Amino acid sequence: QQQVKQSPQSLIVQKGGIPIINCAYENTAFDYFPWYQQFPGKGPALLIAIRPDVSEKKEGRFTISFNKSAKQFSLHIMDSQPGDSATYFCAASPVQSSASKIIFGSGTRLSIRP
């Protein structure tokens, strides 16, 4: 079964809007929650990540909100730009080590309209 559930599958937002992508997980052994951004023809690239000991992390226009009790986390993109159009993957990794495998969500194809 899918360990990290991501929604929506696709999202269209006007420039300047705030797209929100949501993810949920079940496994309490997950200890690291990264978001990856993928442009067409490229591999996923780490965008921002959070550990469960904080409820929010902000890097530039990108913010992760984390709700440990609900086992949910989300990505917000402030002042979205057409260049943000990409596929976004949430992910989670167990606590064993920093070299552990990453479990990905199914991805959200985001399109920012000019």
Partner 1 sequence: EAGVTQFPSHSVIEKGQTVTLRCDPISGHDNLYWYRRVMGKEIKFLLHFVKESKQDESGMPNNRFLAERTGGTYSTLKVQPAELEDSGVYFCASSTGFNYGYTFGSGTRLTVV
**Binding of residue 1 to partner 1 (CB under 8 A):** no
Cα angle for residues 111, 113, 114 (degrees, 5° grid): 140
Q: Select from 1, 70, 83, 98 the one that contacts partner 1 (CB under 8 A).
A: 98
Place of tokens 């000019």: 114
**Binding of residue 46 to partner 1 (CB under 8 A):** yes
**Binding of residue 105 to partner 1 (CB under 8 A):** yes
Beta pairing class for 108-113 and 10-14:
parallel
**Binding of residue 45 to partner 1 (CB under 8 A):** yes
DSSP bridge pairs for 26: none
Helix (H) or strand (E) holding 45: strand 45-50
Structure tokens at 47: 């965008």
CB nearer to partner 1: pick between 39 and 56:
39
**Binding of residue 48 to partner 1 (CB under 8 A):** no
- The residues binding partner 1 (CB under 8 A) are 2, 4, 6, 9, 32, 34, 36, 41-46, 49, 89, 93, 97-99, 101-107
